[in-house]
Structure 1
Amino acid sequence: MSNAWRSEGKTRSLSEVYGSIPIHSGPGFWKNLRAFIGPGFMVAVGYMDPGNWATDLAGGSQFGYTLLSVIFISSLFAIVLQHLALKLGVSTGRDLAQACGEAFSKPVAIFLWILCELAIVACDLAEVIGSALALNLLFDIPILYGILITILDVFLILYFQHRGFRVLESIVMSLLAVISLCFGYELLLSQPDIGSVVKGLVPQASIFQDSSQLYVAIGILGATVMPHNLYLHSSIVQTRAYAHTEADKTKAVKFATIDSTLSLGLAFFINAGILILAASAFHINGMPHVADIRDAYQLLDPVLGSKWASALFAIALLASGQNATLTGTLAGQIVMEGFIDLKLAPWLRRLITRMLAILPAFFITWIWGDSKVGELLVFSQVILSMQLSFAVIPLVWFTSDKAKMGKFVNPVWLTTLSWLISAVILGLNAYLLLQIFGLA
């Protein structure tokens, strides 16, 4: 990899499609923050998709509050990595896919693109299953039919895409508000033990000693820090019409980081809320095997003593699936154009990704029945975790290179922390593979 970019920054595809959103040019903090609020919430959607629900439910019901520390640490990892992604986009005018496409040879770029596409399909698989489950719980639509109905998401998303980027952001933030209110209410009903919650934020040795805990923990990591979000954030942060002076880029990085950190803080609340709900409602009451979303739905009303708990749970699940579907579409567009400069019509790009997700979900459900849906959700998140290093390592490499980043290069402490995070992610995945093959 060369030390400098091989060409000038490319025109940003999303800005071409949606236009740049004007920002406040004065010194006012709140006006600037309001202008930059949005991309972080678009990214945060991927940190609370249906795949998170499956891993968080499994972790909470089986192991109580123990894996809460994994969600907390994963959220801190996410805050650091998303900061690097948005800084790359603002300072260089390139998203991560474009940067990889320029910096690496064509075969390497194609290899990374394929891995990223696998991650997007795995993520979309979670969205398909989550939405189908929500439709089944709310309207008693069979899972197989629900999986097929999710094809309609393609056309719904295309409609909103033509309404402008602010419209997309507003929809996402509205659905996030619905999810937050639903879980806030259910947490109040579950009355978790605050002392146990605080203790759960401290990592326990049992996570590494118990292979089943480690498997779910890595699934949580894959569900929390999602590889395609790094590509997405580095692109959509450029939809703000900041001037390309050093001072304006510095301001853009500052406010985009605040936006990202606030958004991921909300994502941590949702993910922690799901695990805490499962721990306080199921694990504490001697129901450690409630790892399936449908079982949780059926048991929430009697366990929490509320006729609304199950319905709100399903509504939040449906909102989560629709939100993550929208951002997955944008991520797919970004990586395809950035890595291999291949442009497809948005409807075709979305349809291909959705079909690749629907086929395994449909046939596994058809052949083995609905009982395998929950396991498929957790497995999709482990796949995401396996792909993560291939996005994180180039990101840390680029942002630590002064020749590429100039003034915006990572300081020594951030470079050290970023490589440490990369090593933890890579090491956990390697250890899981060794366990799978009976070598550890």
Structure 2
Amino acid sequence: MTTKTKSLEEVHESVSVVHHTSIWKKILAFFGPAYMVSVGYMDPGNWATDIAGGSQFGYTLIWVLLMSNIMALLLQSLSARLGIVRQRDLAQASRDTYSRPVNFVLYFLAEIAIAACDLAEVLGMAIGLQLLFEIPLLWGVSITMLDTFLLLFLMNKGIKKMEAFIIVLVAIIGLSFLVEMFLAKPEITEIAKGMVPSIPNSTALYIAIGIIGATVMPHNLYLHSSLVQTRKFDRTASGVKQAIRYNFFDSLIALNLAFLVNAAILILAAATFYKSGMFDVAEIQDAYKFLEPLLGSHWAPTLFAVALIAAGQSSTITGTLAGQIVMEGYLNLRIQPWVRRIITRLIAIVPAFIAIVYFGESATGKLLILSQVILSLQLGFAIIPLIHFVSDDKKMRGFAIGKYTKIAAWLIALVIVSLNARLVFDEIKGWIETSENPVYIWVFVVPLAVAAALLLIYIIVKPFIEKSMATPTLVPHIKEIVVKEAEKPIVYSKIAIALDFSKTDQKSIESALQLGGKEAQYTIMHVVESVGAMVYGDEIADFETTSDLGYLEKYKAALEEKGYKVNVQLDFGVPKVSIPKMVNEGDFDILILGAHGHNWFKDMLFGTTVNAVRHSIRIPLLIIQHQ
């Protein structure tokens, strides 16, 4: 399909919540999205900082993990609130608020962040496969391409199946480290002391910054604001309030589980490497190698590798969904899911391949650090707009965050952005000092960092200097419904018209009226093809579904006013599948279908509809070509 002018219509109100049931069943119905988000907080990118912190400083930095978890909990609850109340994900809300150039830059930064996160996940899975099966790292990187098909399979099975799969992977990670804890026998009193804030030296500060920077992931804020809309509930004030409360509980449980996993990694490193005087263990491969002799069990390294693979696999699935959300939200661009997945995966694999081939397998640690620095640079561009959006009393319709929550959110944003800016500054400074040609760093890297800082300042001050944000056109379909009467009716009596809300619709309707006149029965049909529709099918009841049905009803009213007999029919998913299904299940004499010309590159990206429909229906097809 061609690019539409509609924004991403996310996974909103797609899983029904039964109202007249027990409170526990309601809570369970809302549970799920936060577990998919939580895997981003225990992905392979976090492991290196946790291992380094535990091996160098023992249990001292556990409080940093706890503080990071509290920060993440508040930010994720704000993200969930945005999706529940405004029925817009973070990318959509940004697109509604900022200008096109600013949105394009924000999209570009979000894509870089997702690619960087995906890079860490690719390397994590590849390292896990290498440790467990002795597969060369390059082969492991190649194997990670296969999860493209796993994701597509899970999407076709629906959100509940995907959530269940993610929860199983999270359980594998948690159980693996539970056994590791039993083998390591950590000191409980030392763990308790680690909850008291302290920073022994500058190195500990650097690791603490890395832990915080690796904990709060920008793509999770986009993802959560979309996933919470999978639940269909009563849209009254009390229903929205209940949804916010239950999703908070969902986040509280899921993120605390993620905290326990991260804490377990740090505690494991403290109870083994720090206790044995091995203070320089920071690489995942080294941790794996030393676990067996230190713990005296061959199960220890095996469970470590299994957990690493599970972490990489679960994180890459959610990262892909986030990539699709930011593309559709910022650019209003939809492409075939398998193309989207391959693009994301290639962006992560190519740097990994180049680094491993050029620098050797020892470069994986540096790549993981680089990915966290990139994430750090982008983080403010997700947090700051989020706080602005959920603070807007008018658009939040009575559910804007309160004064104390707002203060806490801005303090957290200040801490995270400041610490991440410090991390980025230190990394750039290190590159300049160690580079053979620092002029390239000054010419290319430094100006980009300065430009990013200026854009961040603009995003911070814009809502304060504008009294009110412009009201967006949420679904800018065609501006006016215009219907011309037929001049020479022909013979068809049951006519189906497939609409896609483009300029071709007008010609399709005119042609249909000429074929059937006022004696025929017309059925105008449309396929909702958002991410939610592709995942949830006819269970979805999101904003796009509501608006598209409204436009069909407007067409119907305009035609009926002129004396035509009209039905409307809405379906969900991929047009080349859904249109033939509706036609073959109905009783029609002919189908009218608009086309947009042929372009092999666009056909490859967006998929072809006309040819697929033409070969799948049993009635005549009239193709209306857009000029």
Q: TM-score range by the shorter chain?
A: over 0.9
Match of 1:361 among 348, 352, 359: 352
Match of 1:220 among 195, 207, 211: 211
Aligned to 1:12: 9
State how far apart, in whole Å, the 1-side matches of 2:195 and 2:148 are. 39
Match of 2:164 among 156, 164, 170: 170
Contact 1:10 1:93 in 2 (8 A): no
Contact 1:218 1:382 in 2 (8 A): no
Match of 2:299 among 308, 319, 336: 308
Aligned partner of 1:214: which letter? Answer: L
Aligned-residue offset at 1:430: 2.6
1:239-278 alignment, distance < 5 Å: 239-278=230-269
Match of 2:137 among 128, 134, 143: 143
Aligned-residue offset at 1:216: 2.5
Contact 1:218 1:385 in 2 (8 A): no
Aligned to 2:288: 297
Question: In structure 2, the residue corresponding to 1:410 is in which secondary structure?
Answer: coil
Aligned to 1:120: 114
Aligned-residue offset at 1:193: 1.6
Question: In structure 2, the residue corresponding to 1:423 is in which secondary structure?
Answer: helix
Aligned to 2:382: 391
State how far apart, in whole Å, the 1-side matches of 2:66 and 2:84 are. 27
Aligned-residue offset at 1:438: 5.2
Match of 2:154 among 156, 160, 170: 160
State how far apart, in whole Å, the 2-side matches of 1:329 and 1:11 are. 15
State how far apart, in whole Å, the 1-side matches of 2:427 and 2:146 are. 37
In structure 1, the gaps of 5 or more residues are 1-8
Deviates more, 1:378-387 or 1:145-154: 378-387
In structure 2, the gaps of 5 or more residues are 1-5, 431-627
Match of 2:70 among 73, 76, 101: 76
Q: Relative to 1, partners in 2 of residues 1:314 and 1:359: Cα closer, same or farther, differing over 3 Å?
A: same
Aligned-residue offset at 1:41: 0.2
Match of 2:394 among 403, 412, 428: 403
Aligned to 1:5: none
Q: Relative to 1, partners in 2 of residues 1:301 and 1:238: Cα closer, same or farther, differing over 3 Å?
A: same
Aligned to 1:231: 222
Per-residue CA deviations over 1:322-355 (Å, capped at 9, x if unaligned) read: 1001101110011111111111111111111110
Identity of aligned residues (%): 51
Aligned to 2:472: none
Aligned to 2:415: 424
Match of 2:186 among 181, 189, 192: 192
Aligned-residue offset at 1:437: 5.3
Contact 2:373 2:424 in 1 (8 A): no
Contact 1:48 1:270 in 2 (8 A): yes
Contact 2:199 2:205 in 1 (8 A): no
State how far apart, in whole Å, the 2-side matches of 1:43 and 1:233 are. 6
Aligned to 2:18: 24
Aligned to 1:60: 54
Question: In structure 1, the residue corresponding to 2:11 is in which secondary structure?
Answer: helix
Aligned partner of 1:193: which letter? Answer: E
Aligned to 2:568: none
State how far apart, in whole Å, the 1-side matches of 2:103 and 2:195 are. 38
Aligned-residue offset at 1:188: 1.4
Aligned to 2:36: 42
State how far apart, in whole Å, the 2-side matches of 1:438 and 1:317 are. 32
Aligned to 1:341: 332
State how far apart, in whole Å, the 2-side matches of 1:324 and 1:436 are. 25
Question: In structure 1, the residue corresponding to 2:297 is in which secondary structure?
Answer: coil
1:105 aligns with 2:105: no
Aligned-residue offset at 1:385: 2.0
Aligned-residue offset at 1:10: 6.5
Contact 2:377 2:424 in 1 (8 A): no
Aligned partner of 1:400: which letter? Answer: S
1:286 aligns with 2:277: yes
Aligned partner of 1:218: which letter? Answer: I
Aligned-residue offset at 1:11: 7.0
Aligned-residue offset at 1:436: 4.0
- Report the structure, 1 or 2, having the larger strand content: 2
Per-residue CA deviations over 1:32-53 (Å, capped at 9, x if unaligned) read: 1110110010000111111111
Aligned-residue offset at 1:432: 2.9
State how far apart, in whole Å, the 2-side matches of 1:433 and 1:42 are. 28
Question: In structure 2, the residue corresponding to 1:205 is in which secondary structure?
Answer: coil
Aligned partner of 2:11: which letter? Answer: L
Question: In structure 2, the residue corresponding to 1:60 is in which secondary structure?
Answer: helix
Contact 1:97 1:334 in 2 (8 A): yes
Aligned-residue offset at 1:400: 1.1
Per-residue CA deviations over 1:146-181 (Å, capped at 9, x if unaligned) read: 111111111111111111010000000011111111
Match of 2:83 among 89, 99, 111: 89
Question: In structure 1, the residue corresponding to 2:20 is in which secondary structure?
Answer: coil
Contact 1:12 1:238 in 2 (8 A): no
State how far apart, in whole Å, the 1-side matches of 2:239 and 2:83 are. 13
Deviates more, 1:314-323 or 1:379-388: 379-388
Aligned-residue offset at 1:203: 2.2
Task: Report the count of equivalent residues.
Answer: 425
Contact 1:222 1:383 in 2 (8 A): no
1:371 aligns with 2:362: yes
Question: In structure 1, the residue corresponding to 2:385 is in which secondary structure?
Answer: helix
State how far apart, in whole Å, the 2-side matches of 1:290 and 1:436 are. 21
Q: Please say which structure displays the higher CA radius of gyration.
A: 2
- Report the structure, 1 or 2, having the larger helix content: 1
State how far apart, in whole Å, the 1-side matches of 2:178 and 2:428 are. 41
State how far apart, in whole Å, the 1-side matches of 2:308 and 2:223 are. 22
State how far apart, in whole Å, the 1-side matches of 2:343 and 2:373 are. 22
State how far apart, in whole Å, the 1-side matches of 2:423 and 2:166 are. 34
- Root-mean-square deviation (CA), in Å? 1.6
Aligned partner of 1:98: which letter? Answer: Q
Deviates more, 1:46-55 or 1:85-94: 46-55
Contact 2:8 2:332 in 1 (8 A): no
Aligned partner of 1:409: which letter? Answer: A
Aligned partner of 1:73: which letter? Answer: M
Contact 1:75 1:264 in 2 (8 A): yes
State how far apart, in whole Å, the 1-side matches of 2:271 and 2:8 are. 50
Aligned-residue offset at 1:409: 0.5
Aligned partner of 1:310: which letter? Answer: P
Q: Relative to 1, partners in 2 of residues 1:140 and 1:437: Cα closer, same or farther, differing over 3 Å?
A: closer
Aligned partner of 2:365: which letter? Answer: G
Q: Relative to 1, partners in 2 of residues 1:364 and 1:438: Cα closer, same or farther, differing over 3 Å?
A: closer
Aligned-residue offset at 1:14: 3.0
